[in-house]
Amino acid sequence: MAQRKDEGTTTESKTIEQYCSVCKETYEMPVVEEPDDHDVVWLKCPGCAGFLPYMTDQGKHVDKSAAEKDGEIGDLALEDIDIESAREYTEKDVYEVNEVIYHRSWNDYGKIIAKEELPGNRKTIHVLFVNQGKIRLLEGVT
Ligand SMILES: [Zn+2]
């Protein structure tokens, strides 16, 4: 029996294989946000449930490991932030710049360094985590 594929018009089954530096595993990750005029595709890691940006613009190769060795990225120390006032991160909440958050899946604290609104009313926060370094997360997801 031939299975017809033209019935489902949604893209919910779309996945991209990507390495998660948190889980240290490569997964088939479902695409949660597709780019409009931004170059970022958002993937949800099935291991840690974190949102990872997948850069479609592969031409711009950034040598991140060299920068990390220099201590340019991720030089936020626990003593620099007030972890007692940290709010647990959930994608449904909305955060303020300089607010300290706690990401339970990653067991990591971070400070919000910027906010960015993407086309289509998608809001993101740029967070500098103590262990993970700079990561973008979604906020205000309804
Ligand atoms: Zn993961």
Q: Are residues 85 and 36 in the same domain?
A: no
Neighbours of 63 (CB within 10 A): 8
- What is the tens place of the pLDDT at every residue in 37-65? 666 788 999 999 888 888 665 544 444 44
Q: Tell me, in angstroms, the distance from the centre of ligand 1 to residue 26's CA.
A: 9
**Contact at 8 Å (CB) between 42 and 31?**
yes
Cα–Cα distance between 60 and 37 in angstroms, integer?
17
Q: Are residues 84 and 134 in the same domain?
A: yes
Q: Are residues 77 and 49 in the same domain?
A: no
The confidence score (pLDDT) of residue 4 equals: 53
Find the range with the poorest average confidence among 3-7, 24-28, 105-109: 3-7
**Contact at 8 Å (CB) between 133 and 124?**
no
**Is 3 among the domain residues?**
no
Q: Are residues 134 and 98 in the same domain?
A: yes
Number of domains in the chain: 2
Q: Tell me, in angstroms, the distance from the centre of ligand 1 to residue 130's CA.
A: 17
Q: Tell me, in angstroms, the distance from the centre of ligand 1 to residue 66's CA.
A: 22
Cα angle for residues 40, 77, 136 (degrees, 5° grid): 10
Mean pLDDT taken over the chain: 80
Q: Tell me, in angstroms, the distance from the centre of ligand 1 to residue 18's CA.
A: 10
127, amino acid identity: V
Q: Tell me, in angstroms, the distance from the centre of ligand 1 to residue 33's CA.
A: 17
User: Taking the model in full, what pTM does it have?
Assistant: 0.54
Instruction: Report CA 102 to chain centroid distance, whole Å.
Output: 14
Q: Are residues 47 and 110 in the same domain?
A: no
Q: Are residues 81 and 120 in the same domain?
A: yes
Q: Tell me, in angstroms, the distance from the centre of ligand 1 to residue 23's CA.
A: 4
Which tops the pLDDT comparison, 21 or 126? 126
**Is 66 among the domain residues?**
no
**Is 136 among the domain residues?**
yes
Q: Which of 136, 142, 126 is nearest to 55 (CA)?
A: 136
Q: Are residues 80 and 134 in the same domain?
A: yes
Q: Which domain holds residue 46?
A: 14-57
Q: Tell me, in angstroms, the distance from the centre of ligand 1 to residue 85's CA.
A: 26
Q: Tell me, in angstroms, the distance from the centre of ligand 1 to residue 4's CA.
A: 33
CATH number reported for the structural domain that contains residue 35 in this entry: 2.20.25
The upper half-sphere exposure of residue 70, i.e. CA atoms within 13 Å in the direction of its Cβ, equals 7
Q: Are residues 81 and 47 in the same domain?
A: no
Q: Are residues 87 and 136 in the same domain?
A: yes
